[in-house]
Amino acid sequence: MSGSRAPALVTLGESMGLITAVETGPLEFARSFSYGIGGAESNVAIGVARLGHAATWIGRVGRDATGDMIERRLLGEQVRALVVRDDGFTGLMVKHRRFGTALSVDYHRAGSAGSRISRADLPPGCIEEAAILHVTGITPALSDSASDTVFHAVERARAGGVTVSVDVNYRAKLWPAAVARPVLLRLVAQADLVFAGVAEACLLLDAVDRPPIDELARAVSALGPHQVVIKDAERGCAALVDGSAYRLPALPVSVVDPVGAGDAFVAGYIAEHLAGKPAAQRLHTATAAGAFAVSVPGDCEGLPRRADLNTLIAYEDVAR
């Protein structure tokens, strides 16, 4: 266990080692690699911490160098890490750019330490003391015990009056849509706040044709959550928050690495939610955080701090 701050955000899931080929081209010809960490939930925890709020991440890592690195990185980011060391290996992601901006990500995580998370890993009070519990649709796909842990955490949060945030985060490489959909629907129905991409919203709604983004937000809201944010990459986002609709364009930036942009967006929104900011400000910060993330290689390296956001606001004012 690392850190001692009382958490405002609690999240749980799998964090992995991230191997990234530096050169563009077939992976077999790559000779230079960087090594970092990745994982949707730990990315969000880091993003929220960088924006000035206490954050806790719960998960399992192996008794290996990658597990050591993950715990140290979280500690260095001022994230309170409730880490269980497991005899299994710490999972890995391998990322390379085949051509242009086309990224490919392979997972090596079946049977990993992170996939063996269980409800026993959630200490008494760790959920109940939070302001927001954030979970994703990735963790239930990892194993039966991981799925059970997510729903147990959500149940405890709801019983304790804690806001439940869900990022649908469907990963086709982890489970087929027909298996994922009923699980994701159950998760969304218990959420207060839901983030989804356009394709993910269509999956939830079993929509063959893509409806307008504002209609998607209304339809997902009808499933239960009173805050729904639909992320539409470079086209911006739409939201329905307590019955009020919002639209916001994406910021025009050069995309270096799109992986992790959705997590940055979520972190920005949650950080402003914790700060008591109105929905429009939450979305503005979320959009800015996503823009920072895509401009830097890596899963979490580009997550902004408050000073970065202030610099961007000043730049936008000048541009106008």
The answer to whether 300 and 46 are in contact (CB under 8 A) is yes
Give the CA-trace dihedral at 83, 84, 85, 91, to 10 degrees.
-70
**Is 106 one of the catalytic residues?**
no
Give the CA-trace dihedral at 171, 172, 178, 184, to 10 degrees.
0
Q: Given the residues 232, 263, 308, 317, select the one marked as catalytic.
A: 263
Angle between helices 198-205 and 177-189 (to 10 degrees): 90
Residue 118 and residue 271: Cα distance in Å, rounded?
27
The answer to whether 20 and 106 are in contact (CB under 8 A) is no
The answer to whether 137 and 170 are in contact (CB under 8 A) is yes
By C-alpha distance, which of 121, 107, 173, 116 is closest to 144? 116
Positions marked active-site: 263
